[in-house]
């Protein structure tokens, strides 16, 4: 039984879900519109990933209830995120580092 | 004796077993898609400057945007189906779960349209590294959608009988299934801009 | 909670699709031991070739061609499959699947794992993966032959690789299901009073191991999918542009990179080596505490070290890639993290050594293997240091030195730990002790011949003999001075094989003739020894234990017995 989810709680949650839905839809339109702007590649990547991160955080925090979830889960996810970033950046970094040699 | 904390939460962790289990599974999935995203980064770096952006121009942004909105909607209907159970409204649960499945089906149909359009234009995974990673990432994501649909269908029809005998455990299962489903949505939230917009 | 319900279960539900962690643990154990034997046999065949390069292999030679000679392709296949089978079908399923499954729920006072059905599924997934891997030998193309490391571009074309990739996907899935189960079980199902710092070190080791598996395996699964795509869908994930194969430019799009495979592969494969060693270290901890009749020295340090080790293991992987033309920044980074990771290993080994000081050592078979582990793992670990230095590694990479290093850690390292565990927990599992005489007949020759096989490899490696050479280096002038060691190593290997016979016999013999024991034949403190031998089906304990003490209260002054079980209440 999930903790403390009474009827009134759930009703207020539903309001939140709808708000988040609207925000996600809006951010989707924004990110598509932004892609037509004249930005450098680096700027475009930064903007797209930032918007995606906001959208992702909304899904995780509210639909997946992470915002009220136990600390243990958040710790596991932070650990995972850490290694995820290692996997993203280190191979790329070694590619760049290598290119400089020869 | 039964396994403890299958339904009720363990006091010091505040979790029931399946919730911890599914989050660990999702952590592994982050690393799985992470491996593929890492490949994307590496391959993009290795390609001629601007090549990935150029090759990506062939992709259909309007269709994919529609798909993004469809998947986000399915996430809302999914969480609403769980909320309905918490409010003891089994009929609403069936409605929202059905809508979730409908959205998922719509997503797959659009994907099918996209893929066949590519093949008609002789664009395949073997065409270049961009399309190789595009088809692999979206393909694996699609497989996750299909897998999710199978589980959700089970909970929609055959498995929904559990509501009558063990409503709390059934509600927990829907929450767990929902977590998986939201994750699949989350992956797409990153896939969409990376593949289609950059 | 009351008396366990008795209901008629079919043979199928009791022994085939069982959800009891003890049965599943035994399924894993038996399957893994058979695979270890198979992997060992493959190596014994290879070692004939190395000892006597131009002569027919006896007994099995007829399989390899008319004149019974080991063709280079066959040698490469045996090599690739030896590594694959030993690591993925043998050691990890035994260390984690068997020992972990059987012992962890017992040591934490739980009736079973958190997800018993998923547990059964993980075993059968492993089984299917094993069948796929082994059946590859019988396909027209034969088994994989690109090394267990499956580097492209070779692995993108070579025969046998598709089955290997499919087999790996099953094995990785099995591993993921298992590790999720372990982590949830250890967090959620600890008995009342069993706080984190009261856990036996074996449980900590399995806990960290499971984190390594759950987070490190998926990138390899991703890479396996990519390599499969290269093989069947014509993609160029790992194929660079302009690649020439057999004199012709390859008709693929190109643009890919073999280095991408190496990064994704080693991202898993480095943590994998810690998966190989940690459960064994856990076993050694249990056996040493029990047979020194003293608490383990430095429990807190051990816990800190194993957690730190687990974390560090994710950021050292490219020390396997020093010779890929890496720049100085990245090689400095990886060299640094690699040096740092040696520290927790040293802490753990030192704690074990110090635990012997002032001890009343019982030299039974499990303890003999545990004691031997210490210097053997020491050699393995120390020989890793030159490999961790980028400059030295340039010379030593892909030589026999590496083979010597990692075999010391896994063979007289992990495998000795696993042997110790089998002798130690056999009484709990079967209700009988294994024969001490046969145990010693197993131990002493094994120790001697392990060193006979692997010590000369350092000599050959330092002389520059490359690994994976089907003729053992015969064609290279720089190897000529050290090739005579090949025969010595091969004979040691075959004698090592013979030394396992008393062990195999002992397992079966003791089932019927072993000394019968009660709950706690070794006078141990941890929870598994409060359950019957064997523990009750499905529930393990007559009633759920309550824990009042830390894990290793041995020889506490002023007490009657030289051990105090964790369940014994504190007075007052």
pLDDT digits (tens, 9 = 90+) for C255-300: 999 999 999 999 999 999 999 999 999 999 999 999 999 999 999 9
The Cα C224–Cα C264 span in angstroms is: 9
Q: What percent of chain C has pLDDT over 90?
A: 89
Q: What is the mean pLDDT of residues B133-161?
A: 97
Predicted local confidence at residue C572, as pLDDT: 53
| Residue ranges in chain A modelled with pLDDT below 50 | 1-4, 102
Do B136 and C229 make contact, defined as CB atoms within 8 angstroms?
yes
Predicted local confidence at residue C7, as pLDDT: 64
Local structure of residue C244 (DSSP, 8 states): E
Minimum distance, in Å, between the CA of residue C275 and any CA atom of chain A: 17
With respect to residue C565, please indicate whether it lies within any of the assigned structural domains.
no
Phi/psi at C559 (5° precision): -105, 155
C392 in contact with chain B, both atoms CB, cutoff 8 A: no
Residue of C nearest to A81 (CA): C215
Please give the residue range of the domain that contains residue C435: 20-238+255-530
Predicted local confidence at residue A9, as pLDDT: 83
The Cα B73–Cα B80 span in angstroms is: 10
pLDDT digits (tens, 9 = 90+) for C50-66: 999 888 888 888 777 66
Q: What is the mean pLDDT of residues B24-33?
A: 97
Enumerate neighbours of C (3 or more CB pairs within 8 A).
A, B
Which domains does chain B carry?
Answer: 17-197 (1.20.120.80)
What is the rounded end-to-end Cα distance, in angstroms, of chain C? Answer: 29
With respect to residue C556, please indicate whether it lies within any of the assigned structural domains.
no
What CATH code is carried by the domain that includes residue C172?
Answer: 1.20.210.10
Domain total of chain C: 1
With respect to residue C555, please indicate whether it lies within any of the assigned structural domains.
no
Q: What contacts C72, CB < 8 A, 6 or more positions away?
A: C470, C471
The Cα B110–Cα B108 span in angstroms is: 5
C19 near C117, Cβ under 8 Å? yes
Residue of C329, C332, C337, C394 to mutate, interface with A, max A Cβ within 10 Å: C329
Contacts of C110 in chain B (CB under 8 A): 3-4
pLDDT digits (tens, 9 = 90+) for C100-114: 999 999 999 999 999
With respect to residue C554, please indicate whether it lies within any of the assigned structural domains.
no
pLDDT band at C398 (very low <50, low <70, confident <90, very high): very high
Whether C86 has a pLDDT exceeding 60, the answer reads: yes
Predicted local confidence at residue C216, as pLDDT: 97
Predicted local confidence at residue A3, as pLDDT: 46
Q: What is the residue-averaged pLDDT of chain A?
A: 89
pLDDT digits (tens, 9 = 90+) for C422-443: 999 999 999 999 999 999 999 9
* Nearest by Cα to A21 from B75, C94, B193, C478: B75
Contacts of B133 in chain C (CB under 8 A): 237
Whether B2 has a pLDDT exceeding 90, the answer reads: no
Local structure of residue C59 (DSSP, 8 states): T
With respect to residue C560, please indicate whether it lies within any of the assigned structural domains.
no
pLDDT digits (tens, 9 = 90+) for C297-326: 999 999 999 999 999 999 999 999 999 988
With respect to residue C162, please indicate whether it lies within any of the assigned structural domains.
yes
Q: What is the mean pLDDT of residues C525-549?
A: 94
pLDDT digits (tens, 9 = 90+) for C458-485: 999 999 999 999 988 999 999 999 999 9
With respect to residue C399, please indicate whether it lies within any of the assigned structural domains.
yes
Predicted local confidence at residue A4, as pLDDT: 47
pLDDT band at C6 (very low <50, low <70, confident <90, very high): low
**DSSP H or E segment with residue B153:** helix B129-156
Predicted local confidence at residue C55, as pLDDT: 87
pLDDT band at B167 (very low <50, low <70, confident <90, very high): very high
Q: What is the residue-averaged pLDDT of chain C?
A: 95
The pTM assigned to this predicted structure is 0.96
Whether B38 has a pLDDT exceeding 50, the answer reads: yes
Predicted local confidence at residue A6, as pLDDT: 65
Q: What is the residue-averaged pLDDT of chain B?
A: 96
Least confident range from A63-77, C62-76, C352-366, C404-418: namely C62-76
Peptide bond into C503 cis (omega under 30): no
Q: Which of B15, B61, B168 sits opposite A32 (nearest CB)?
A: B61
Local structure of residue C159 (DSSP, 8 states): T
With respect to residue C320, please indicate whether it lies within any of the assigned structural domains.
yes
């Amino acid at each position: 039984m999930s903790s403390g989810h009474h009827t009134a709680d759930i009703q207020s949650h539903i309001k939140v879900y709808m708000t988040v839905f609207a925000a996600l839809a809006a951010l989707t339109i924004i990110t598509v519109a932004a892609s037509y702007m004249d930005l450098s590649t680096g700027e475009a990547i930064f903007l797209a990933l930032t918007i995606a991160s906001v959208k992702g955080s909304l899904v995780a925090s509210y639909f997946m209830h992470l915002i009220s979830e136990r600390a243990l889960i958040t710790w596991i996810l932070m650990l995972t995120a850490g290694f995820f970033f290692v996997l993203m950046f280190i191979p790329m970094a070694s590619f760049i580092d290598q290119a400089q040699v020869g | 004796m039964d396994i403890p904390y299958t339904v009720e939460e363990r006091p010091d962790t505040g979790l029931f077993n399946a919730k911890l289990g599914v989050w660990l599974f999702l952590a592994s999935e982050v690393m799985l898609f992470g491996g593929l995203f890492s490949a994307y980064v590496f391959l993009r770096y290795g390609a001629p400057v601007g090549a990935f952006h150029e090759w990506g121009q062939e992709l259909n942004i309007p269709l994919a945007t529609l798909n993004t909105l469809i998947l986000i909607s399915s996430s809302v209907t999914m969480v609403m189906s769980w909320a309905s159970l918490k409010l003891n409204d089994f009929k609403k649960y069936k409605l929202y779960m059905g809508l979730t499945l409908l959205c998922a089906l719509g997503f797959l149909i659009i994907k099918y349209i996209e893929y066949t359009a590519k093949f008609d234009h002789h664009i395949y995974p073997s065409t270049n590294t961009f399309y190789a990673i595009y088809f692999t990432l979206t393909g694996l994501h699609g497989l996750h959608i299909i897998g999710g649909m199978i589980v959700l269908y089970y909970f929609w029809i055959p498995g929904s009988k559990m509501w009558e005998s063990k409503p709390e455990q059934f509600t927990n299962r829907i929450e767990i299934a929902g977590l998986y489903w939201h994750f699949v949505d989350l992956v797409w939230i990153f896939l969409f801009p990376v593949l289609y917009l950059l | 909670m009351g008396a366990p319900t008795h209901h008629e279960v079919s043979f199928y539900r009791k022994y085939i699709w069982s959800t009891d962690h003890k049965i599943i643990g035994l399924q894993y154990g038996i399957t893994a031991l058979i695979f270890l034997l198979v992997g060992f046999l493959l190596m014994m065949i290879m070692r004939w070739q190395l000892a006597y390069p131009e002569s027919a292999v006896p007994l099995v030679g007829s399989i390899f061609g008319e004149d019974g000679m080991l063709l280079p392709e066959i040698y490469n296949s045996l090599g690739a499959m030896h590594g694959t089978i030993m690591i993925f079908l043998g050691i990890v399923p035994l260390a984690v699947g068997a020992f972990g499954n059987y012992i962890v729920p017992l040591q934490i006072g739980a009736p079973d794992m958190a997800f018993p059905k998923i547990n059964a599924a993980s075993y059968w997934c492993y089984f299917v993966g094993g069948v796929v891997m082994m059946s590859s030998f019988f396909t027209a193309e034969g088994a994989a032959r690109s090394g267990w490391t499956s580097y492209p571009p070779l692995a993108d074309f070579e025969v046998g690789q598709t089955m290997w990739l499919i087999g790996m996907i099953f094995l990785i899935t099995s591993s993921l299901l298992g590790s999720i189960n372990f982590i949830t079980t250890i967090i959620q199902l600890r008995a009342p009073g069993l706080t984190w710092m009261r856990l036996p070190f074996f449980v900590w080791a399995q806990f960290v191991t499971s984190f390594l598996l759950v987070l490190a395996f998926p990138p390899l699964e991703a890479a396996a999918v990519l390599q499969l795509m290269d093989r069947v869908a014509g993609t160029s994930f790992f194929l660079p542009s302009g690649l020439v194969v057999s004199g012709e430019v390859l008709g693929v799009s190109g643009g890919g990179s073999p280095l991408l495979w190496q990064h994704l592969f080693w991202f898993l494969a480095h943590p994998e080596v810690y998966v190989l060693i940690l459960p064994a270290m856990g076993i050694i901890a249990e056996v040493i505490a029990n047979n020194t009749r003293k608490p383990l020295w430095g429990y807190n340090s051990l816990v800190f070290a194993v957690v730190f080790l687990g974390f560090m293991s994710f950021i050292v992987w490219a020390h396997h890639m020093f010779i890929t033309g890496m720049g100085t920044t990245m090689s400095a980074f990886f060299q640094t993290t690699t040096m740092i990771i040696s520290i927790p290993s040293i802490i753990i080994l030192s704690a074990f050594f110090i635990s012997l000081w002032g001890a009343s050592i019982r030299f039974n078979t499990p303890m003999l293997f545990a004691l031997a582990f210490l210097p053997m793992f020491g050699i393995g670990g120390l020989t890793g240091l030159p490999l961790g230095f980028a400059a030295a590694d340039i010379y030593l990479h892909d030589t026999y030195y590496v083979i010597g290093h990692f075999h010391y850690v896994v063979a007289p390292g992990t495998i000795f730990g696993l042997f110790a565990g089998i002798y130690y927990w056999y009484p709990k599992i079967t209700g009988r002790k294994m024969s001490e005489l046969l145990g010693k007949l197993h131990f002493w020759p094994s120790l001697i011949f392990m060193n006979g096989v692997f010590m000369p490899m350092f000599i050959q490696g330092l002389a520059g003999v490359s690994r994976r050479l089907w003729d053992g280096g015969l064609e290279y002038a720089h190897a000529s001075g050290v090739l005579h060691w090949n025969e010595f190593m091969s004979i040691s290997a075959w004698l090592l094989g013979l030394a396992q016979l008393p062990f195999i016999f002992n397992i079966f013999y003791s089932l019927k003739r072993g000394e019968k024991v009660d709950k706690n034949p070794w006078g141990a403190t941890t929870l598994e020894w409060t359950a019957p031998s064997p523990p009750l089906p499905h529930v393990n304990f007559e009633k759920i234990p309550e824990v009042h003490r830390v894990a290793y209260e041995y020889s506490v002054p002023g007490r009657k017995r030289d051990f105090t079980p964790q369940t014994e209440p504190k007075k007052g």
